[in-house]
Amino acid sequence: MNLEIKIDLLKKVYIFSEVSEKHLKEILIHCKEKRVTKGEIIVSENELGDSMYLILEGEVKVSLMSEEGKEIILSTLRKGDCFGEMSLLDGEPRSANVIALTDTELLELSRESFLNEIVSNKHIAGAILKVLSMRLREANERILGLMSKDVFDRLAEYFQKEASVKGRELIDGSVVFERLPQSEIASIVGSSRETVTRAIKEMVDKGMIIASGKQIILKKNFQNLLIKRHKERYG
């Protein structure tokens, strides 16, 4: 991947959004590329963290293991997303596992280089606070969502988000996207595989989606049918 593309990706990361191109080039000098294969653990919960990663290509999941040994997926990250910034700042152990969902290319920045850049550039210091507040807000919204919405609604919200990020619009206005295994989806929406299977079947029966192999097709009237279901259930 050439320098210009890497700079463009760095600019899209909140912590580097206010950094000049000159400083971005200096940061890239201290970065190294890393390639991981599907299923490979990139960072492990509780290991000491000394680097931050930017995804150049591919997709990863951020997860924790519950006391019962069940995986809880906190989020999925894609090209242009970053992770590991918490450990860069405090030097504490990693707060979660990050595992490659696909073959993935990463750009790695060490803690030492990162802190040097913060000291020399006040914009980075301010921008990192923006990232942390955004991540905290997203986590709070996710917790509130898990508490206030049923599995069907959480699944619908997840499908809509996936469609907006990964989807391809079809000629009839429907949107198709590749789906994760249902066990992974269940972890993301905070439910069991069996409950997610029932919710998907209900969506299919209501004509909201088509579940075809590894693909989900959101029908054009998905949102209208979702609103109709809410009215039927909640008045």
pLDDT digits (tens, 9 = 90+) for 32-50: 999 999 999 999 988 888 8
Q: Could you give the domains of the chain?
A: 3-147 (2.60.120.10), 149-234 (1.10.10.10)
Give percent of the chain above pLDDT 70: 90
Mean pLDDT across 79-99: 81
pLDDT of 134-190, one tens digit each?
767 776 666 665 555 788 988 998 999 889 888 898 898 899 998 888 888 888 887
pLDDT-wise least confident of 20-24, 85-89, 196-200: 85-89
pTM greater than 0.85 (yes/no): no
pLDDT of residue 205: 92
Among candidate residues 167, 175, 165, 183, the one with its CA nearest the CA of residue 223: 175
Q: How confident is the model at residue 209 (pLDDT cuts 50, 70, 90)?
A: very high
Residue 218 and residue 163 in contact, taking contact as beta carbons nearer than 8 Å: yes
Phi, psi of 191 (to 5 degrees): -145, -170
The mean pLDDT value of the chain amounts to: 83
pLDDT of residue 146: 56
pLDDT of residue 148: 54
pLDDT of 95-149, one tens digit each?
889 999 999 999 998 888 888 877 777 777 777 677 777 767 776 666 665 555 7
For residues 233 and 80, what is the distance between their CA atoms, to the nearest angstrom? 39
For residues 19 and 222, what is the distance between their CA atoms, to the nearest angstrom? 41
Among candidate residues 223, 185, 193, the one with its CA nearest the CA of residue 206: 223
Give percent of the chain above pLDDT 90: 25
Between 211 and 122, the higher pLDDT residue: 211
pLDDT of residue 57: 93
